[in-house]
Amino acid sequence: MDMEENLEKRESKVYNWLSDKYNLGLIAILVFAFLVRLYYFTITKDQALWWDELIYGTLAKNILSGFAYSQMPILVGEIMIRPPIVPFLWAALMKIGFEEPASKFVFEFIPSFLSILMVYLIGEKMYNKKIALIASAILAVSWLHIFYSMRMLTDVPAPFFALLSIYFFFKAGEDLKLKPFALSIFSLSIAILIRYPVGLIGFVYIAFLLFTQKLSFLKNKKFWIGGIIGMIPIIILFTFNFFTSGSLFPAAENYAQSAGEKTSFAYYTLGFLPHILQWPFLILFVAGILIVLLRLFVGYDLINKDKMLKSDLFLSLLLIFTLAFFIFLIKAAEDRYLFIAVLSIVVFPAIAIEKIASFLQKNYKISAILVVSVLLLAGAYYNYTYGDAIIKDKAQSYYDIKQASLWMNTNLPNGSRIIGETSSPYIIYYAPNLVAVDYPPTSIPSNYTPDADYLFWSAYNWHNDYIKNYLPKIQNDLNPVYATFFDTQKTQPSVIIYQFKK
């Protein structure tokens, strides 16, 4: 009887949950998001890796080899600046037999899907179910989010853990309850170890607490205890860095040097917002910002007392810190970098849509539903028409390098030594039967004779003049054995593999 009562209670909970229209809407959005991502996953699962993806894959194979490639000049710098979680997780997946598509599913597809759920949960906690549902729908159809969900990069999994951190941060509440606050900082630490710049969210937390609590949070022992517990992964990284390189965070030194070499601020970063959002989400995004700024201006003295104003403040700080970081500090950005502020990017237009719906619902309930539906469908349509061609077209990029590397692995004698500009990661990742050989890291002497059997030339990675000047000098010593071309007339080579005459 007890079992029957327990079953009835569970059935009642499920029924009550499903009777909520917002929960049904969330299920519909999640199913749609899963199917859309699955569709593009089947199209792109065998696409060639881009450079950053390739480096992570190469570092993973370096780990599996017992760090055999760690001293290669082309990898030394990459090891210093790349966060550790991606290479180690990828190596672990390789170790248990996961092929690249399966690893991509684990590391990209699943976090991409769960990010939509996290946006809903955060939106509900910060505002209400209506805004939460609209924001999750916007992320579900985001072409850029879908695009990078198909790449073995850090720009989808890191924001997922950042969203998880923000969820626990707000769950911790004003009192900073120990368990959720520690989980928040721990989740943020994991996000940082996937992608270092996500760490600026920690500064958003501090700024938010200063605005809402002045300095009183510093007297809360749960802030210090939860923070230290949550930062254990970062503390481990800093300790490891100190004993291996003498620096707590060598990647920061690299970022600072790179930024110092740039003479102008990266104002073009603002131009990525229209690119990311598309119409009509862009207009709604601007409207949402104006609504939030007006509310903060009018209620500035109530911010630390009002839940909605606190949420407005947090989203504003998140967007401002992200834009300022890349515009003024790093002085460089790509569209995907702004995913650090993905919550602000999808919630601001949701606020505008909710405000329009609330205005119409007072007298025209059906019109409110219709307008919201039209805005979301229009946004989905423009994201699809813009992103579909890009996703499919980019699935072919660098594919000839992948094919050439696989051809070498199959057709050249095992142990053949391959030299080429930036070709080492391709050889290590795609051609494990061969041996990658680096050019000298700074210049090639006039009498230089490489200790190699084959030379890998690619039109994609022709950046160093010393190699460009060196290759014509040894043309008579080379015999082409493989080539691919950009054009059908075979006048524009994309990849050429030469054999050294001996």
Comparing 7-16, 136-145, 221-230, the range with the smallest average pLDDT is 7-16
**pLDDT at residue 22, as a whole number:** 84
Q: Furthest-apart CA pair in the chain: how many Å?
A: 90
Average pLDDT, the chain: 89
| Residues whose CB is less than 8 angstroms from the CB of residue 330 and which lie 6 or more positions away in sequence, other chains included | 197, 255, 258, 259, 266
R_g (Cα) of the chain, nearest Å: 26
| Strand order through the sheet with 493-500 | 435-437, 417-419, 454-458, 493-500, 478-485
| Residues whose CB is less than 8 angstroms from the CB of residue 485 and which lie 6 or more positions away in sequence, other chains included | 491, 492, 493, 494
Mean pLDDT of 410-414: 94
Mean pLDDT of 331-344: 94
Mean pLDDT of 206-213: 94
Instruction: Pick 108 or 462 by higher pLDDT.
Output: 108
Mean pLDDT of 416-421: 87
Instruction: Pick 254 or 30 by higher pLDDT.
Output: 30
Residue 27 clears pLDDT 70, i.e. is over it: yes
**pLDDT at residue 172, as a whole number:** 93
Q: How far apart are CA 148 and CA 142, in angstroms?
A: 10
Comparing 3-12, 147-156, 219-228, 395-404, the range with the smallest average pLDDT is 3-12
Q: How far apart are CA 423 and CA 441, in angstroms?
A: 13
Residue 410 clears pLDDT 80, i.e. is over it: yes
pLDDT digits (tens, 9 = 90+) for 58-107: 999 999 988 888 888 778 888 888 999 999 999 999 999 999 999 999 99
What length is written for the chain? Answer: 502
Residue 352 clears pLDDT 60, i.e. is over it: yes
Q: How far apart are CA 294 and CA 274, in angstroms?
A: 22
Q: How far apart are CA 146 and CA 392, in angstroms?
A: 12
Residue 482 clears pLDDT 60, i.e. is over it: yes
The residues pairing with 435 across neighbouring beta strands, listed in sequence order, are 417
**pLDDT at residue 444, as a whole number:** 67
Comparing 40-54, 365-379, 446-460, the range with the smallest average pLDDT is 446-460
Are 226 and 176 spatial neighbours (Cβ–Cβ below 8 Å)? yes
Pseudo-torsion of CA 290, 295, 297, 302, nearest 10°?
A: -160
Residue 232 clears pLDDT 80, i.e. is over it: yes
Are 203 and 192 spatial neighbours (Cβ–Cβ below 8 Å)? no
Are 494 and 459 spatial neighbours (Cβ–Cβ below 8 Å)? yes
Q: How far apart are CA 436 and CA 425, in angstroms?
A: 8
| Residues whose CB is less than 8 angstroms from the CB of residue 341 and which lie 6 or more positions away in sequence, other chains included | 318, 319, 321, 322, 323
In terms of Cβ atoms closer than 10 Å to its own Cβ (0-12, 13-18, 19+), residue 265 is: middle
Instruction: Retrieve residue 391's tokens.
Output: 């996703």
**pLDDT at residue 380, as a whole number:** 95
pLDDT digits (tens, 9 = 90+) for 183-202: 999 999 999 999 999 999 99
Three-state secondary-structure class, residue 457 = strand
Residue 365 clears pLDDT 80, i.e. is over it: no
**pLDDT at residue 424, as a whole number:** 87
**pLDDT at residue 502, as a whole number:** 72
Instruction: Pick 373 or 13 by higher pLDDT.
Output: 373
**pLDDT at residue 462, as a whole number:** 58
pLDDT digits (tens, 9 = 90+) for 145-171: 999 999 999 999 999 999 999 999 999
Q: Provide the whole-model pTM.
A: 0.91
Comparing 237-246, 278-287, 411-420, the range with the smallest average pLDDT is 237-246
Mean pLDDT of 24-43: 95
β-bridge pairing 435-437 and 417-419: parallel
Given pLDDT bands bounded at 50, 70 and 90, which one contains residue 3? Answer: low
Three-state secondary-structure class, residue 456 = strand
Are 48 and 429 spatial neighbours (Cβ–Cβ below 8 Å)? no
